[in-house]
């Protein structure tokens, strides 16, 4: 029940931030998400957890430094669906922004995806290994 409540809180904060682009919602979202992620990923010592934390921190840093808005580089023709993206190509720490060269992903997004794939791959591997071990005994 606690997990559902925490996830609902994070989803509500993301929705508010995505539709208003206010700095307050941005900071609340990232602090809540980082607090929850650190508590889960560090305590459980799962593989890929460090990459996930690095990706979340990277995205939190670039959006916080740019007033709650994620800048983009090389996407001037892109029309964003929500006000949290700035397609002007201006801002701080643009190396962490969404990049046209990375197919509209940021470095933080790439780290999140890599960490998630690592996490899932390790879980699938351990399940398959456990199933094979139980069949041979």
Task: List the pLDDT tens digit at each of the 137 positions of the chain.
Answer: 788 998 999 999 999 999 999 999 999 999 999 988 888 887 887 888 899 999 999 999 999 999 999 999 998 888 888 899 999 889 999 999 999 999 999 999 999 999 999 999 998 998 998 888 877 65
Question: Which residues in 103-126 are b (16+ Cβ under 10 Å) and which e?
Answer: eeebbbbbbbeebeebbeeeeeee
Structure tokens belonging to residue 86:
């700035």
**How many domains in the chain?**
1
Instruction: Write down the pTM of the prediction.
Output: 0.86
Which domain does 96 fall in, by range? 2-136
Strand partners, 105: 99
């Amino acid at each position: 029940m606690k997990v559902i409540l925490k996830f609902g809180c994070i989803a509500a904060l993301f929705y508010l931030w995505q539709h208003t682009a206010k700095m307050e919602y941005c900071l609340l979202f990232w602090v809540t998400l980082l607090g929850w992620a650190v508590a889960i990923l560090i305590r459980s010592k799962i593989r890929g957890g460090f990459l996930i934390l690095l990706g979340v921190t990277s995205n939190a840093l670039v959006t916080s430094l740019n007033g709650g808005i994620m800048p983009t580089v090389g996407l001037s023709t892109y029309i964003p669906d929500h006000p949290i993206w700035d397609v002007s190509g201006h801002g701080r720490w643009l190396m962490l922004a969404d990049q046209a060269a990375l197919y509209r992903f940021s470095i933080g997004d790439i780290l999140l995806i890599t960490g998630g794939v690592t996490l899932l791959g390790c879980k699938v591997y351990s399940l398959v290994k456990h199933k094979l071990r139980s069949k041979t005994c």
